[in-house]
Amino acid sequence: MKALQRTILEQLIAGSAEPVVVAQVDSPDWPVVLCNPAFAGVVGEEDVHSKPFADVVEQLVGRDLALEISETIRAGHETTIPVEVSNREYLLVMRPLNSAGKGNSKYFAAYLRDGAGASTVGGGEVQRALHRAKRRIRDLSRDDPVTGLLNARVFREVLDHDWAVAKRERSKLALISFTLDDFDQYREVFGQHAADSCQRRVAQAIRRCLKRASDVVAKVNCEQGDKLIVLSHSADEVGVSEFASTLATLVRELGLHHPRSRVSRFVTVSYQTSVKEAGADKMNAADFLNSVLK
């Protein structure tokens, strides 16, 4: 962004009564590059510049909506979502922006419109109903029906996107794959319905523990059976291993009885981790995923 353009844009945004924030989404962690005082006031922080955008949004609207917004950003879609912040109704408007300057950087603008006026005439309810319908249609195409996690097709699209960004920035990504131990034996004892319920509980326990809204988890099927795969933007191999171990402990502590397990009296998971610099050794996103599916 040219200095003159940026200066003018900063003045316009700063003078806006609507809370506005802009993040650069072709850079790791999606740093906030512009934020006006109105938005900082809603978030409750004077300076959110350079902070990961997903963290800022999660602080504002909670993890579930933040995960949804992160997926919207990856897909490059424009969307409007009804949200409640500090007991006040807003419409969160998300819009992709492309820089015409060198490198054609990609940005996302988010701004909060006061939803109170629309609500008084029923517009807010209509907006929420439309959003729920759109979310349901989208969920049917992107989610695994058993676990509620991303399905394999959508996960591969997310991984391709994040790999391309990390490759351009020469940064690292991490994958953790979890396999439920002796799960065929669990299914033989309790039946398919109970097995689906067990897998769903394990999957959601892992999902709730993701560190950032920009991290995702999916169910992926391979020759060795179903695996739950976490994609993280962490570059710390030790930290990734510790996180995987913590999640494995959490799964065991769910206390799901498994009479035929060779590991424990309860359902447990085994895991593999991989932290790679994107594009190193001619590896692509598919190779990276395959490294933890073996």
Single pTM value for the model: 0.70
Q: Which of 109, 85, 78 is nearest to 13 (CA)?
A: 109
Q: How confident is the model at residue 106 (pLDDT cuts 50, 70, 90)?
A: confident
Using CA atoms, how far apart are residues 163 and 157, in angstroms rounded to an integer? 10
Per-residue pLDDT at 179: 96
What is the token pair recorded at 138?
């989208």
The CATH class, in words, for 152-290 is: alpha beta
Supply angle C-alpha 199, 203, 208, rounded to 5.
150
Region 108-136: mean pLDDT is 60
Query: Greater confidence, 285 or 117?
Result: 285
Supply angle C-alpha 222, 227, 272, rounded to 5.
105
Q: Looking at domain 3-141, does it have CATH number 3.40.190.290?
A: no
Q: Give yes or no for residue 97 having a pLDDT over 80.
A: yes
Nearest 10 degrees: Cα torsion 40, 42, 43, 46: 30
Using CA atoms, how far apart are residues 167 and 283, in angstroms rounded to an integer? 10
Domain parsing of the chain, residue ranges? 3-141, 152-290
